[in-house]
Amino acid sequence: MPKSRIRKKADYTPPAAKQATNIKLTSRGWVAPVMLAMFLIGLAWIVVFYVTDGSLPIDSLGNWNIVVGFGFIAAGFGVSTQWK
């Protein structure tokens, strides 16, 4: 029985090196301070409302002061989506 021919494999050649592209990130240094400020304002708003038995920060809003506090916290989460 005839022997099959041995195939000659090509030598390994690594793929061509890619050029590194510069990624231009915009400066987002304002995001972290604004985010933390919104969180703290919202937390302080709710704490002041509970500590003063609803007479502060805005008496006429009543229990809607809680919604305002959580609104500041939600705005902080909204700003956090801009953080890179």
pLDDT digits (tens, 9 = 90+) for 7-17: 777 777 778 88
Over the stretch 16-73, which tens digit does the pLDDT of each residue have? 887 766 666 677 889 999 999 999 999 999 999 999 988 888 888 989 999 999 999 9
Report yes or no: 43 and 23 within 8 Å, Cβ to Cβ.
no
The CA distance from 41 to 57, in Å, is: 12
pLDDT score for 20: 67
Runs of H (alpha helix) within the chain: 31-51, 64-80
pLDDT score for 72: 98
Over the stretch 58-70, which tens digit does the pLDDT of each residue have? 888 989 999 999 9
